[in-house]
């Protein structure tokens, strides 16, 4: 597996100027970079790819930023805006040499409503339809879409591995895989290792985050069973630290980060990576 860092810890939005961070990420020992692209117009993917190559890094994943106007179960306009946005991201992934579009690709983050079951089923069918279109586009371009269950406070739609697998089955595309995150699983799953094993070969992406969304390892999560489960299913994808701090104010508000989780955000990356390498083993080469 490769170890990655999500750039939201240090900047928002990510722009061409943000590539100046790559040198530090490389010195810390990361293999890959996860880039949340809030607007495709914020970057020139040719420039970003050149800077990645210069540092000997790869873009392992692009994170879909699903705001209120991008919602595959929203109004017709929100559905089309969200779908068009993610297709543009896939176009940029081709230039970046990035394999995976990840995140809550089904809905706007923060939309959490108690809806009647018939309304939920209607929304489900709408999301299935759009994900079929998105995954067909991704497959055509040799890319995969990794769907992330979020905790109950961030979505009412897909919270667990089981629900994610149900969506994968409904869409029926080899380009759609599962993205699990230890922060969300810590809230929603009875047993994180069991959820990982249930995902099995369908697991395409993995976020290693502290239980408080801080440093992995400086928290109460039992990491050894998680590492063993990933090894047992022969997971070969990226393991990415995704955390947020009050320094990046727009994202702090979106992620409900109201206090300093750690004294220094650099520690989240440096100490977190040290913990992951010790627990999960060294990075694979290539």
Contact 210, 221 (CB under 8 A): yes
User: Is residue 250 scored above 80 in pLDDT?
Assistant: no
**Whole-prediction pTM value?**
0.96
From residue 47, give the alpha-carbon distance in Å to each of 55, 70, 96, 277.
Answer: 13, 26, 9, 30
Domains, the chain, in order of start with CATH, read 2-280 (3.20.20.150)
- pLDDT at position 160, please? 98
- pLDDT at position 245, please? 75
193 membership: H or E segment, kind and range: helix 192-199
pLDDT per position as a tens digit, 141-196: 999 999 999 999 999 999 999 999 999 999 999 999 999 999 999 999 999 999 99
pLDDT per position as a tens digit, 112-152: 998 999 999 999 999 999 999 999 999 999 999 999 999 99
């Amino acid at each position: 597996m490769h170890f990655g860092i999500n750039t939201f810890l240090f900047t928002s939005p990510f722009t061409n100027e943000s590539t100046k961070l790559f040198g530090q990420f490389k010195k810390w020992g990361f293999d890959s970079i996860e880039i949340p692209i809030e607007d495709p117009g914020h970057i020139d993917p040719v420039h970003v790819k050149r800077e990645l190559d210069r540092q000997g890094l790869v873009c392992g994943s692009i994170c879909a930023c699903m705001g209120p106007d991008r919602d595959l179960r929203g109004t017709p306009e929100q559905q089309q805006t969200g779908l068009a946005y993610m297709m543009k991201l896939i176009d940029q992934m081709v230039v970046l040499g990035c394999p995976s579009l990840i995140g809550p690709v089904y809905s706007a983050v923060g939309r959490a409503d108690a809806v009647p079951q018939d309304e939920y089923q209607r929304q489900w069918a709408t999301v299935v339809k759009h994900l079929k279109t998105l995954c067909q586009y991704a497959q055509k371009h040799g890319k995969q879409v990794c769907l992330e269950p979020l905790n109950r406070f961030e979505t009412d739609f897909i919270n667990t591995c089981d629900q994610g697998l149900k969506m994968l089955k409904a869409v029926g595309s080899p380009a759609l895989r599962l993205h699990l995150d230890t922060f969300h699983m810590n809230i929603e799953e009875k047993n994180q290792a069991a959820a990982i094993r249930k995902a099995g070969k369908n697991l395409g992406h993995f976020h290693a985050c502290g239980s408080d969304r801080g440093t992995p390892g400086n928290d109460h999560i039992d990491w050894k069973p998680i590492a063993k489960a990933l090894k047992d299913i022969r997971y070969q994808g990226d393991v990415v630290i995704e955390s947020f701090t009050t320094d990046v104010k727009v994202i702090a508000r979106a992620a409900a980060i109201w206090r300093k989780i750690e004294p220094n955000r650099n520690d989240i990356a440096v100490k977190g990576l040290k913990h992951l390498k010790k627990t999960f083993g060294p990075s694979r080469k290539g």
